[in-house]
Amino acid sequence: MLLWLYWLKEGLLFKMGNLQENINFFNKIARYYDKGIFGIWLNRILIKLLKEIEIKENSIILDVGCGTGNFLKILSKNKTLILCGLDISPKMIKIAKKKLGKKANLKLMPIENLRDKNKFNYIFSTEAFHHYSNQKKAMRNFYYALKKNGRLIIVDLSFGRILNWIFHKIEPGNSGMNSRRDFYRLLKKYGFRNIQQKRLSLVTIMTLGEKTETKTFKYLNK
């Protein structure tokens, strides 16, 4: 939302419908992503998030939609962690690699193409879920990629039903907004348990779920 002024300036405030258009959009805003009000706001959200999550030593962590690497940079202060990141934007990944060097393994890949199984202790998705091309496939891949007792943490915007609908219609690349209740139901449907939720800001909701067992759900293959 805080990028709307930039979108208006650049003539980008229209609906984008596929992965390549999303890539083009994020490539264009990459150099502005860390700057100004949006960068400050996002950094505050990340700090609040880490106060809510107790990350165990020697954990393997995946940041999906890692952008320019801000969250991974914060996590890299803990030298015991093995850090990985995914993003669809080459320019975002390029900036992230400059920040992180060898501190994280970064891949240019959409979450929908992830094939890892039982690998990660934690998967984070911060302000990215509403840009995934296929949210159901993303949830399936989250589940499979986590180890047993691994945790999925999704932080995303939610403005209420009406504003969510408007934002979905006008934001570039927005594949669909979810309410607090939507996220709870989504995690439960895809096999996550011990679900917790907390509002991190007026328009930001954290939803956390745990993979308590390893099994295949029929709907996960659809």
CB–CB of 203/157 below 8 Å? yes
Kindly report whether the global pTM for this prediction surpasses the value 0.85.
Answer: yes
The neighbour count for residue 81, using CB atoms within 10 Å, is 20
- The predicted pLDDT at position 15 comes to 40
- The predicted pLDDT at position 217 comes to 58
The neighbour count for residue 33, using CB atoms within 10 Å, is 20
Domain at 68, CATH number? 3.40.50.150
Mean pLDDT in order along the chain per 10 residues (222 residues): 44 52 88 85 93 96 97 97 97 97 96 96 96 93 97 94 81 86 96 96 96 70 48
Where b means 16+ CB within 10 Å and e means fewer, 6-21 reads bbeeeebeeebeebee
Number of domains forming the structure of the chain: 1
- The predicted pLDDT at position 13 comes to 40
Q: Which domain holds residue 122?
A: 4-221
CB–CB of 129/178 below 8 Å? yes
CB–CB of 147/208 below 8 Å? no
- The predicted pLDDT at position 162 comes to 83
Give the separation between CA 65 and CA 69, rounded to whole angstroms.
Answer: 9
- The predicted pLDDT at position 1 comes to 45
DSSP 123-177: EEEES-GGG-S-HHHHHHHHHHHEEEEEEEEEEEE---HHHHHHHHHHSTT----
CB–CB of 120/62 below 8 Å? yes
- The predicted pLDDT at position 161 comes to 84
- The predicted pLDDT at position 171 comes to 77
Sign of CA dihedral 177, 195, 206, 116: negative
Tokens at 200, concatenated:
């991190």
Task: Report the greatest alpha carbon distance in the chain.
Answer: 49
- The predicted pLDDT at position 219 comes to 52
Close Cβ partners of 189 (under 8 Å, ≥ 6 residues apart)? 139, 219
The neighbour count for residue 47, using CB atoms within 10 Å, is 11
Sign of CA dihedral 34, 36, 39, 40: positive
- The predicted pLDDT at position 173 comes to 77
